[in-house]
Amino acid sequence: MPAELRVAAEAARGFMPPDEGRALYDAGVAAAGAVPGAPLLEVGSYCGKSSVYLGAAARESGTVLVAVDHHRGSEENQPGWEWHEPDLVDPDLGVMDTLPTFRRTVYRAGVEPWVVALVGDSPTVGRFWTTPCALVFIDGGHGEEPASTDYRVWTPHVAPGGLLAIHDVFPDPADGGRPPYERIYLPALASGRFEDVSATGSLRVLRRVA
């Protein structure tokens, strides 16, 4: 990964450790090589940290990242929850708005031409999505229902030979919430459509085989 992009990604606001970010970048480049011409797509951008890693991979590979988020935060980002950041609340509306921070992050990193923000609810966007993707990265809502929905809606859009990346996969409940593991990772493997490729921290990468 080019050094200036790595520095920008590591400086970006968010919760992805550097080793997981670099693994995500590597997955993006590998996927774009395996499925030429297809876009990368992420569900859950927040302030744009993962978008810089995947936007860098898109830039390197001559494709684009489609970054899907309604920018209103997940359940766990709302006031009173563990992952709430009060300065991300729109003062006029009193609701979360991560889009301005996301745009600054992506612009500052120099990847804006390769990152297309799609602002909307993941299942609503998914209902109209038809383009096969080289890589789908799922890091949206981490509750049972949103994780199950993202599995159902987005995994069919991984092109054969493409990659599915999942963040915050914690097999041990002591390490964190279980839905990304139980509702996305395990069902993907059990479906026979995906095989394991790599694990870096809580990032899992699988390949679409059928």
Binding site for ligand SAH (CB under 6 A): 14-16, 44-47, 49-50, 68-74, 98, 121-122, 139-141, 146
Q: Which does 39 bind (CB under 5 to 8 A by kind): ligand SAH, Mg ion, none?
A: none
Give the full edge-to-edge strand order of the sheet including 40-43: 115-119, 65-69, 40-43, 133-138, 158-166, 203-208, 194-200
Q: Least distance from C-beta 100 to Mg ion, angstroms?
A: 20
Contact of 32 with 55, CB cutoff 8 Å = no
Q: Which does 168 bind (CB under 5 to 8 A by kind): Mg ion, ligand SAH, none?
A: Mg ion
Q: Which of 167, 178, 204, 208 binds Mg ion (CB under 5 A)?
A: 167
Is 84 an annotated catalytic residue?
Answer: no
Q: Which of 65, 139, 206, 208 binds Mg ion (CB under 5 A)?
A: 139
Q: How far apart are CA 52 and CA 123, in angstroms?
A: 23
- Nearest Cα neighbor of 67 from 102, 28, 107 is 102
**Token couple for 60:** 């390197």
Residue 38 has what DSSP assignment? P
42 versus 159: smaller Cβ distance to Mg ion = 42
What is the smallest separation between the CB atom of 23 and ligand SAH, expressed in angstroms? 13
Q: Which residues are catalytic?
A: 142
